[in-house]
Every structure is written in C-alpha cells, then in structure tokens.
Structure 1
Amino acid sequence: MCEIFIRANPASYQSQSRSLRLHGAATSIRLESLFWEVLEELAQRDGMTVNQLITRLHDELTEYRGSEAVAGNFSSFLRVCCLRYLMLQGEGRIPADRDVPIRSLDPRAVLDNLPESWVEPRPH
C-alpha cells in the first residue's frame, strides 16, 4: 500500500516560495511543488495566471469570511483548494476535461449532497 505514496517524485514535495502582489502589497506564499502544479491547472482552466487565481481566491475568501480568515493561514487554504479540486474531480463533480472552465460549473450542483466534512451547510 505505501509504495503508492512513497514512490512520489521527491521534487513534488519540495517547498517553493513564490512572490506576488495582492492589491499592490508584496507577499510570498510557500507551497509544495505539487500544489503549485494543481493551482496552475486550475488557473489555466479559467484563462488566468496563478497569481490572478490566488488574488481572486484571496478576495473572495475575504469577502465571504472576512480578513481574519485570510490572515489565519492562507497557504493552508490554498492546499485545501487543491485537494478539494482533485477530490471533486474524483467524485465526477468537476469534469476532468481541462477545457471546461471552473467558472462555468454550477456551485450548488457541484457541492450538493457532499459529506459534512467537505462543505459547510447552506444557510436556510
């Protein structure tokens, strides 16, 4: 069983820092290489750069949860975004076809009837 995991390319779990600007403020984000690859795929699906995707995620998280949520651990949030993307693809809720933009998907349909640990309940 463990061979499936231990035979990962060591480069995939090497940390990489990338510098970017969020609304003019310089910042740095440190993630493992594999997460950067997934973010690149996500960004490409919607015709964005990784920096544009990260800025959009930052802005939407701030709008939805407030600035405290972003200040908490934004790198962890990005890792969870990548994992959710791959898990939702595995569930068949996000098409594997990279030509289908994420923005074209109906969020309610994608998130409907997921386990509680995967999504917060919708307000009634």
Structure 2
Amino acid sequence: MTGLDEALWLDWPTRDRLIDQILALKKKYPGFINMLDSTLELMREKNAKKVTDNCGFRLKAFAYGPTGEPKGKCMMGDNADCDRCGCVVPFHMATISSRRLMIKEQIKRLTA
C-alpha cells in the first residue's frame, strides 16, 4: 500500500529467502502448507512483476469493502502498490491459469 510505513515492506532478498523457507517447510511437513510451489515461485522478485503487470484479479474480479462499496482496482484498495504485491491471490490465479504450470504441478504430485 502506498503511503504506509516503509518498514512494513519486506525487501526482495528477504522475501525470496522466506519463500525458500516456506518451500523447505512444505517438504518437511507435506500436506500441511497447502500452496502450490509454482505459486510461491511466481512470488519471487524475478517473476512477480510479470504477474502483477497482468494481474488476473484486477482484470477479471472485483472486491467490496465491509460497507458494500467497491474497492476499485484491487482487493487491497486503490492505494495498493502492485509492484510490491504480497497478496497470494494474483499469483495463485496466474498459476491455475497456466496450463504449463498446472501440468508441472501434476507431474510433481505423481512422482512424489
């Protein structure tokens, strides 16, 4: 969100390191963290902008606030900073919209 305390933002190296930790925990505790590896990979610095520039949520969905008013371009509100998006929804939407990534996920499941 623009206009918020910058200390709340995780820089990209920290975010990528946390994604590595989540992926490691998924291997250690299978079935506990229910998130596709491809979704996490899309959230990395090298992939995120490609997803957020073509945000499936922004293009195909809508959100309303607690009083019923439309939120605008994003479920996070009109002040969302798309270049630093940390919401899993656009990345999950990009994963399930990609035939290549879904085939990759299915092969991973079948060979696990």
Q: Which has the higher contact order (CA 8 A, sep 6+)?
A: 2
Which category of TM-score, normalised to the shorter sequence, fits these structures? 0.3 to 0.5
Structure 1 length-normalised TM? 0.31
Structure 2 length-normalised TM? 0.33
